[in-house]
């Protein structure tokens, strides 16, 4: 077990300066204090577990997902992510080659995000006790003084912004499952978004709510915002950026892109007058398809609705369980 950690994890991750092979990473407090605006700032701390099938998918793998996911969970709170932990639960018999690839991918994604994986653990469990590989990552980041982003902060008149096409990750995962035999060029959008979010925060201090639209998709995040802020949210169907491939997969299987998972998409609720500046900042970061997709409206009870391309208005409710394909 020690070999596994040394060969595959400590060798890859920037663990050495954080007391390698002690039972905990040791971070100098001076490292934290040196960041800007920390007087009155907050420490952000999060954890998430990653269990995805297949482990390797077009545009990513479970390792990239595990790093980007936790980086993004920190970032959407306005935090600058700094340190991650990584815990692997490996099913007996899992190919070491695959493990090596996944760990390399974690390393690469951490480098891209500018975070250090400073501590970790591996457990090997009996065959059947886990499905190949589960990864847990936890992360620590810093929220500078004055940044106050919250699901409950949406105000009537705010605009809803997304940083690109909806449902890419979910559609690529569905398409890559072998039982469907669909051939597409879909790629997951799995990526760390901390640099994007930092540039949005520089562009405007009027970002009220921010969340990454992972499991449950854009619809679920918007329902959370509406509920927490006690407002209505109205989407415009003709403003939603969705790739043709995603639409095609959804048409065939009877799925709705608004509920598909994303791994590189954030939904922001921003003051209307800041929307232009924030969109510009997003586009400068290479998110060309970033768009305003809706607005916050007054409502008697929290709800999300969508103006359809035909001018009708329909509810975008929370899902009951997972989306299931329809038969005909």
Partner 1 sequence: MKYVDEFRQPEKAEALFKAIDNLAAPLSDKLARAVHIMEFCGGHTHAIFRFGLEQRLSKSVELIHGPGCPVCVLPMGRVDDCVALAERPEVIFTTFGDAMRVPGSQKSLLQAKADGADIRMVYSPLDALNLAKKNPDREVIFFALGFETTMPSTALTVLQAAEGNISNFSLFCNHITTVPILESLLDSPTFNIDGFVVPGHVSMVVGEKPFATIAERYKKPMVITGFEPLDILQSLHMLLVQLQSGKPCLENQYARVVQKAGNIPGLMAMQKVFELREKFDWRGLGEIDKSGVKITEEYAAFDAERKFAVPNLKVDDPHECQCGEVLKGEIKPWQCKVFGAPCTPQNPLGALMVSSEGACAAYYSFGNTKELLDKRQEARPTK
320 touching partner 1, by CB under 8 A: yes
Indicate the residue among 125 and 252 with the shorter CB distance to partner 1: 252
Our measurement of the distance from residue 243's CA atom to the centroid of its chain's CA atoms, rounded to an integer in Å, reads 19
- Using alpha carbons, select from 94, 91, 88, 87 the residue that is nearest to residue 129: 91
Question: Where in 243-302 is the site for partner 1 (CB under 8 A)?
Answer: 244, 247-248, 251, 253-254, 300-301
CA distance 174 to 194: 27
DSSP state of 158: P
Candidate residues 1, 29, 298, 328; the one interacting with partner 1 per rule CB under 8 A:
328
Stretch that binds partner 1, among 103-111, 187-195, 206-214, 311-319 (CB under 8 A): 311-319
Distance CA 143, CA 64 (A): 24
The neighbour count for residue 301, using CB atoms within 10 Å, is 9
| 103 contacts 142 by C-beta, under 8 angstroms | no
**Residue 131, helix vs strand vs coil:** coil
Q: Is residue 39 a contact point for partner 1 (CB under 8 A)?
A: no
325 contributes a contact to partner 1 by CB under 8 A: yes
Q: Which residue in 72, 172, 274, 303 binds partner 1 (CB under 8 A)?
A: 303
Give least dist CB 301 to partner 1, A.
8
Q: How many CB atoms lie within 10 A of CB 245?
A: 19
Q: Within positions 151 to 190, which residues make up the interface with partner 1, using CB under 8 A?
A: 179-180
Query: Is there binding between residue 131 and partner 1 (CB under 8 A)?
Result: no
Q: Name the minimum Å distance from CB 25 to partner 1.
A: 38
- Alpha-carbon distances of 93 from 207, 223, 295, rounded to whole Å: 47, 42, 51
CB of 297 to partner 1, least distance (A): 11
CB of 142 to partner 1, least distance (A): 40
What span, in angstroms and rounded, lies between the C-alpha atoms of 210 and 47? Answer: 18
Segment interacting with partner 1, rule: CB under 8 A, options 38-46, 59-67, 142-150, 317-325: 317-325
Q: Which stretch binds partner 1 (CB under 8 A): 56-64, 73-81, 148-156, 306-314?
A: 306-314
Q: Which residue has the tokens 């969109």?
A: 279
Please report, in angstroms and rounded to a whole number, the separation of the first and last CA atoms in the chain.
50
| Residue 309 binds partner 1 (CB under 8 A) | yes
Q: State the nearest-atom distance from the C-beta of 179 to partner 1, in Å.
A: 6
Stretch that binds partner 1, among 5-13, 258-266, 275-283, 308-316 (CB under 8 A): 308-316
Q: How many chain residues are in contact with partner 1, going by CB under 8 A?
A: 28
220 binds partner 1 (CB under 8 A): no
Residue 16 contacts partner 1 per CB under 8 A? no
The dihedral region occupied by 251, where left means phi > 0, alpha psi between -120 and 50, and beta the remainder, is alpha
Cβ(116)–Cβ(31) under 8 Å?
no
Classify residue 26 as left (phi > 0), alpha (psi -120 to 50) or beta: beta
Binding site for partner 1 (CB under 8 A): 179-180, 244, 247-248, 251, 253-254, 300-301, 303, 305, 308-315, 317, 320-321, 324-328
């Amino acid at each position: 077990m020690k070999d596994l950690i040394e060969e595959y994890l400590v060798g890859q991750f920037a663990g050495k300066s954080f007391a390698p092979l002690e039972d905990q990473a040791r971070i100098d407090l001076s490292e934290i204090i040196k960041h800007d605006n920390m007087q009155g700032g907050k420490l952000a701390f999060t954890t998430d577990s990653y269990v995805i099938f297949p482990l390797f998918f077009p545009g990513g793998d479970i390792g990239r997902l595990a790093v980007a996911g936790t980086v993004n969970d920190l970032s959407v709170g306005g935090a600058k992510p700094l340190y991650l932990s990584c815990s692997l639960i490996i099913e007996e018999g899992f190919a070491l080659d695959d493990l090596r690839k996944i760990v390399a991918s974690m390393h690469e994604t951490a480098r891209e995000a500018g975070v250090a994986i400073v501590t970790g653990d591996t457990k090997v469990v009996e065959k059947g006790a886990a499905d190949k590989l589960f990864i847990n990552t936890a992360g620590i980041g810093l929220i500078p003084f004055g940044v106050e982003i919250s699901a409950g902060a949406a105000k009537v008149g705010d605009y809803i912004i997304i940083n690109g096409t909806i449902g890419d990750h979910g559609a690529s995962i569905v398409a890559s499952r072998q039982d469907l035999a669909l051939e597409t060029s879909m790629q997951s959008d799995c990526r760390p978004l901390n640099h994007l979010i930092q540039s949005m925060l520089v562009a405007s201090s009027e970002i009220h709510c921010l969340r990454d639209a992972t499991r449950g998709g854009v619809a679920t995040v918007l329902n959370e915002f509406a509920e927490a802020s006690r407002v209505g949210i109205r989407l415009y169907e003709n403003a939603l950026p969705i790739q043709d491939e995603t639409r095609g997969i959804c048409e065939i299987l009877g799925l709705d892109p608004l509920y598909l998972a994303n791994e590189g998409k954030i939904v922001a609720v921003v003051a209307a007058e800041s929307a232009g500046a924030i969109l510009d900042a997003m586009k400068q970061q290479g998110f060309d398809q970033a768009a305003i997709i809706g607005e916050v409206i007054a409502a008697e009870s929290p709800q999300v609705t969508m103006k359809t391309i035909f001018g009708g208005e329909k509810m975008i409710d929370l899902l009951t369980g997972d989306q299931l394909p329809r038969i005909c």
